Structure 1
Amino acid sequence: MKAALLFLQAATGAMAPAPTMDAMRQQVTDAYRQEEARQAALPPAKDDAEKIIRLGTLDQVGRITMMKLDWSLVPAHQQPKWRGAILAEISRHDRLNQERLKTLIPEEGWFRISVYGKEAARAAFLIVQHAVDDPALMRGTLNRMEALLPDGEAEGQAYAMLYDRVAMTFDKKPQRYGTQVNCVDGRWQPTDLETPDTVNSRRQAIGMSQTIEQYLAMFDNAQCPRA
């Protein structure tokens, strides 16, 4: 009897406590606070490019933390509500980053790679890509990036992702480059794609290095449950 009791106590002690929505959201909030504190301890940014790169790190920290959360103990019927609460926290920080970025946009309209570097240009793009509550910022950036493409001052991959998101989110049009994917019967796939047979030609035309097949191979289908 004593041995059985000890076994039960050991087994019970080894069980992970049931998660709560607030606790999971707090992990994301704490990640932002820790990154903000880390950046506050750094010397002042030497230029606007460094400021943008730091904003880009803030843009990603909440998303990376959310990806690492353990959802295995969260009932499936509760997950949409919990994810929504966490995404609301991420969106709150996104809006702060967007307002900070707007103060850094140069008079010529966008961040040229030759002036700011690829890392800063990519960070700025990611912040705009997440500005789904600010259509004017997304549309304006898309137009400015398109003007910079011929001179290599904007990346084709970034332009394509922004084009597809604007088309699908605001214009209710098919995506052109296949950058936006959804979980369909156990596989990540681009949905509502304009003329699928020629998508690789369009990707190549704006300087994208991957075919649609290579792009989709990057996604983890294990994270895409079958219906």
Structure 2
Amino acid sequence: MDYSQIAKTIIALKNNDLEFREKLIKRGQLGKGYNKEMAQIHNHNATILNEIIDEIGYPTEQNVGKEANDAAWLIIQHAIGQPNFMKKCARLLVVAERKHKISSKKLAYLTDRIAVFENKPQRYGTQFDWDQNGELSPNRFDDLEKVNKRRKSIGLNSIEEQTELIRQQAKNNNEEPPKDFKKRKQEIETWKRTVGWIT
């Protein structure tokens, strides 16, 4: 099995995603709804990566190298219009994490992301969104003290420190809160239903 070619494919998919994201940042469009072209890129990347996973299993650092392993995880994180694919990958990551083949942080970010899309509390507080005060804040989580303990156990900073970093990053990317918070919330819930995160 030629893993080097597979690794190159995964990295190219990730680069395409990030290049388009940069374009959105430069246009000041990042965070202003889910861009249709971006959604197409995410869905395309998920389809290709799913085929790769069906062929070789989860692309771990051991078989495709660190860069492609990191790229695969990013593609999965961005495959938000593909609930079944993301959940399938989460199950594979649980197994890989038990065998120490992937970082616990990657599993934490993915499980939190899925929880947020399913309107469930996150365990590690890794996912952020605009709140009604126009600030980027962590999505709902179960308990601050427990979340910070879990974060510390896998080498993450505190949720308070991460909130500061996320807000600074948004300023650097010229991201602005939605003009109509309630409307945006409704649009997100409608989108979640449309793609199958909630019923």
TM band (smaller chain): 0.7 to 0.9
Q: Is the 8 A contact 1:176 1:194 kept in 2?
A: yes
Look up the equivalent residue of 2:159 and give its one-letter code. I
Q: 2:161 maps to what in 1?
A: 214
Q: 1:173 maps to what in 2?
A: 120
Cα distance 1:95–1:141, how it changes in 2: closer, same or farther (>3 A)? same
The CA deviation at 1:109 is 3.2
SS in 1 for 2:53: coil
CA shift digits 1:85-107 (9 cap, x unpaired) = x7111111221111111221155
Cα distance in 2, alignment partners of residues 200 and 118 from structure 1 = 27
Structure 1 range deviating more: 217-226 or 187-196: 217-226
Residue 61 in 1 paired to residue 9 in 2? Answer: no
Q: Is the 8 A contact 2:42 2:79 kept in 1?
A: yes
Normalising by structure 2, report the TM-score.
0.74
Cα distance 1:152–1:55, how it changes in 2: closer, same or farther (>3 A)? same
CA shift digits 1:73-121 (9 cap, x unpaired) = xxxxxx99xx44x711111122111111122115563112222222211
Q: Is the 8 A contact 1:188 1:224 kept in 2?
A: no
Cα distance 1:225–1:52, how it changes in 2: closer, same or farther (>3 A)? closer
Cα distance 1:150–1:214, how it changes in 2: closer, same or farther (>3 A)? farther
Q: 1:159 maps to what in 2?
A: 107
Q: Is the 8 A contact 2:148 2:159 kept in 1?
A: yes
Question: RMSD of the TM alignment (CA)?
Answer: 2.7
Q: 2:83 maps to what in 1?
A: 135
SS in 2 for 1:103: helix
Cα distance 1:69–1:132, how it changes in 2: closer, same or farther (>3 A)? same
> Which among 88, 91, 97 is matched to residue 149 of structure 1?
97
Task: Give % identity.
Answer: 29
Q: Is the 8 A contact 1:181 1:190 kept in 2?
A: yes
Residue 102 in 1 paired to residue 50 in 2? Answer: yes
Cα distance in 2, alignment partners of residues 121 and 87 from structure 1 = 26
Q: 2:63 maps to what in 1?
A: 115
Cα distance 1:100–1:108, how it changes in 2: closer, same or farther (>3 A)? closer
Count of matched residue positions in the alignment of Structure 1 and Structure 2: 171
The CA deviation at 1:203 is 1.8
SS in 1 for 2:125: coil
Unaligned runs of 5+ in 2: 180-199
Q: 1:200 maps to what in 2?
A: 148
The CA deviation at 1:151 is 3.1
Q: Is the 8 A contact 1:161 1:177 kept in 2?
A: yes
The CA deviation at 1:152 is 2.5
